[in-house]
Structure 1
Amino acid sequence: MNGARIVAAARSWIGTPYLHQASVKGAGCDCLGLLRGVWREVIGAEPEVVPPYSRDWSEPQGDEALLRAALRHLRAKPVHAEVPGDVLLFRMREGAVAKHLGLQAKAGEAACFIHAYSGHGVIESALSAPWRRRLVARFAFPTGRT
């Protein structure tokens, strides 16, 4: 899968307001909705129906639902093998389930990622030390589909 195409698709969502469980460019999305929208643009139909989910993303049960879904549909990579277009999965606090997603836009010293963030909408942020500490998994889009 072409990383530049993924990054261009993700950047086209910048400015979309944050809206929990939504996935409509320009109207609203959350972090999963952004990933779903980019998937539809670069691959096609989504691989499964996303069930309703709460803002706590299975935290009370300690259920790694988002991580399991990523493992079903994306290719796992080493966390430090940065490539633009990668899907990033974060824990928002130590000991919590992984529940935030972003798409790597640039690698290296100027590393940054695109994500839908509550209170901000879809933005591009530096992949700073605090974000890197939260990063728990990195994935590539599947190959062989266009």
Structure 2
Amino acid sequence: MKAADPARVIAAARSWLGTPYHDQASLRGVGCDCLGLARGVWREVVGPEPFPMPPYSRDWGECGPREVLAEGARRMMIEVPPSEVAPGALVLFRMMPRAIAKHVGIITGPNTFLHAYERLGVIEEPLTASWRRRIAFAFLFPQT
């Protein structure tokens, strides 16, 4: 499987900037959560979503040992070591130590990333040391 052009992934992600945060949504300019942002970029870069997204609760990541997001991404994306993230990569963050990865972002530059954050919507911000150490998994979008 060959990776999609990182510039195309970043342009698609940046087109979501300013989209308000809305839990479980994935509609550019209207509302999305972090997973909805990734789904929207997938639709633009790769094509139709491969399966419907089941409903999930706001606290889904606080229970259970399964890395649900990583398992799903592995089925359709190209996994890379977190230490090798580069612009265009989708990253999964652990928001608390020893918790499962439950937040999603897209690397947009050597030290920046874009994500949908509650109360802030889709923003691009520095990939600080604090964010960088939370990266648990990284994936590349496949080429269509």
For the aligned pair, the TM-score class normalised by the smaller chain equals over 0.9
Residue 87 of structure 1 corresponds to 90
SS in 2 for 1:137: strand
Which has the higher mean CA deviation after the structures are superposed, 60-69 or 117-126? 60-69
Give the superposed CA RMSD.
1.0
Moved over 2 A (4+): none
1:50 aligns with 2:58: no
**For 1:99-114, what aligned pairs fall within 5 Å after superposition?**
99-107=102-110, 111-114=111-114
Residue 63 of structure 1 corresponds to 66
Distance 2:51 2:117 in 1: 23
**For 1:1-146, what aligned pairs fall within 5 Å after superposition?**
1-107=4-110, 111-143=111-143, 145=144
Distance 2:100 2:84 in 1: 22
Q: Deviations over 1:58-95 (max 9, x none)?
A: 42223321111111111110112132110011000101
Which has the higher mean CA deviation after the structures are superposed, 52-61 or 66-75? 52-61
1:47 shift after superposition: 1.2
Distance 2:55 2:86 in 1: 31
Distance 2:59 2:99 in 1: 10
Distance 1:15 1:67 in 2: 26
Q: Deviations over 1:87-118 (max 9, x none)?
A: 011000101110000000002xxx11110011
What fraction of aligned residue pairs are identical, expressed as a percent? 52
Q: Which amino acid aligns with 2:115?
A: H
1:57 shift after superposition: 2.4
TM-score after normalising by structure 1:
0.93
Aligned residues: 141
